[in-house]
Amino acid sequence: MTLVDRNQTHLWKPLLHEVATGSLDAGIDEVSYRAQATQNHFRFRIGSLQGLDREKRQIRLAPILDEEGNEIMPQRSLDYDLLVLSIGSVTNDFGTPGAAEHCVFLDSRAQAEHFRQQLLRAYLRTSANPKPLKIAIVGAGATGVELSAELFNTARELTSYGFEKADSQPLEVSLVEAGPRILPALPERISGAAHRELEKLGVSVRAATRIQEATAEGLVTAEGELIEAELMVWAAGIKAPAVTRDLDGLEVNGRNQLVVTPDLKTSLDPRIFALGDCAACPLPDGRGTVPPRAQSAHQMASHLYRNIRKMLDGEAIPAYEYRDHGSLVSLSRFSTVGSLMGNLTRGSMMIEGRLARLVYISLYRMHQMALYGVTKTLLVTLVDRLNRVIRPRLKLH
C-alpha cells in the first residue's frame, strides 16, 4: 500500500483556524507521513497528483521544485491496482473579483501560517494607533465562525504578552454571510446560539450580505457599501481541486467533485474510489450529496477500510450510508455550542458550555487515536498538558 501526498506532514484541517491565530503550534501537532509509514508498514511518496492513465492504471505526479523553481524530483508515474482519491477541497471564491488577490484562504498549513504572520505585523502596525485593527471574514460556516472567536482570544493573549494597544477595543471583526443566518448547514437553534455568543464577544455579524468585490481597502457589498478591513479572509464555500477535471475523463460535477456511486466507486471506473470533500456521493432518495464535513470523510474511510478485502477479492461491497452524529462549533475558550445524535433520533440534543467543549476536544483525541493508537495518544495528551505550563499560550513569532 502506498500513500501519496504533496506535503511531508499531516495537520487536522478543522484546526487550521487555530494555526492561523497562533493558538496552535503546527510544528508540534503535525504528523510526519514518513514516520507513520515506517511505524505502520506502508510506503509514502511525496508528490502532487497531475494526471491519470486509467488504461495503464497509473497516476502521474508533478515534478517537485524548490523555492527558486529548480527541479528536485522529475515527473513520475506510480502503478495501482486499486486507487483511492482523497484530495480534499479548496476554498471557492465563486469568481468574485479581487478575492484571490486581497483575501487569505485557509486551505493549508502554509496559508494559515501566512495569515498568522500578517496578523502579527498588522497588530504591531496599529499598536500605537487609536483605531482598532479591522478584520473581515467572508463565509459564516464553521471555519468563519470559529476563526472570528479565536481572533478575540488572540487579541487578549497578545495584550497579556505586552502587545499594547492605544484603544481599549483593539479589534473589530466583521463576519459576512450571504445566506440568512450563520452556520447554514447546522440546525437553526445552534446557529442562533453561536450568533448570540459572537455578538457578546464584539463580532459584527452581517447575514444576508453578498460580497461583489474585494479591494485593498476592504469588501464591497452588492449594495455598494464598503466594509473596511486591513485583513480579509475568504471562507465561503468549497470545491475540489481543479486537477480532478484532468483525470482521464472521470466524471465531475460543477464543484469539481468526482461523481461516485453509493459504494464510493467513481461513476466511470470501478477500480477508482473517491472519498471526503472531493467526492460527490449521493444521499438516499435523491436528497442531494453527502455534506463535505470531517465526519463524512472519516466514515467513508472507515467504510472502505472494512471492505478492502472484498474489493481485492473482486466482491461487491455495500453502499456507504452517511450518519449525522451531530455538529460542534468551538468559539475558542469563550464557549462551544453544538448538537449530538443528529439524524439518529427524531431530533437532536443541543449542548453548550463545558460539556460541549469536552466533546469537541474528544473529537480531536479520537482523530489522534486513529493515527497513533491509545497509548501514544495518552502520552501526546500528557505532553499537551505540560506544554500549557512550559510554553507560551500563543505562538508569538
Q: What domains does the chain contain, in order, with CATH numbers?
A: 2-89+239-312 (3.50.50.60), 91-238+327-390 (3.50.50.100)
Give the range among 119-128, 176-185, 205-214, 338-347 with minimum mean pLDDT: 338-347
Residue 65 in 3-state DSSP?
strand
- At residue 340, the pLDDT reads 63
**Among 276-280, 316-320, 322-326, the range of highest mean pLDDT:** 276-280
- Between CA 327 and CA 333, with CA 330 as vertex, the angle to 5 degrees is 155
For residue 105, which of 290, 239, 245 has the smallest C-alpha distance?
239
- At residue 25, the pLDDT reads 87
- At residue 350, the pLDDT reads 58
- At residue 353, the pLDDT reads 61
What residue type is assigned to position 230 of the chain?
E
Would the pLDDT of 106 be above 90? yes
How high is the mean pLDDT of the chain?
Answer: 88
Average pLDDT estimate for 319-339: 80
Non-local CB neighbours of 283 within 8 Å, separated by 6+ positions: 289, 290, 322
Higher pLDDT, 173 or 366: 173
Using alpha carbons, list the distances in angstroms from residue 378 to 32, 220, 366, 372, 382.
Answer: 18, 48, 11, 10, 6
- Between CA 354 and CA 359, with CA 355 as vertex, the angle to 5 degrees is 115
Average pLDDT estimate for 28-52: 93
- Between CA 119 and CA 168, with CA 336 as vertex, the angle to 5 degrees is 45
- Strand 83-85, strand 76-79: pairing: unpaired
Average pLDDT estimate for 18-36: 90
Query: Per-residue confidence at 66, pLDDT binned at 50, 70, 90?
Result: confident
Non-local CB neighbours of 189 within 8 Å, separated by 6+ positions: 339, 350
Using alpha carbons, list the distances in angstroms from residue 267 to 115, 153, 303.
Answer: 38, 46, 18
- At residue 345, the pLDDT reads 39
Query: Per-residue confidence at 359, pLDDT binned at 50, 70, 90?
Result: confident
The b-or-e profile of 350-361 (16+ CB within 10 A means b, else e) is: ebbeeebbeebe
- At residue 157, the pLDDT reads 87
Query: Per-residue confidence at 348, pLDDT binned at 50, 70, 90?
Result: low
Would the pLDDT of 52 be above 60? yes
Average pLDDT estimate for 256-281: 95
From CA 296, how far away is CA 85, in angstroms rounded? 15
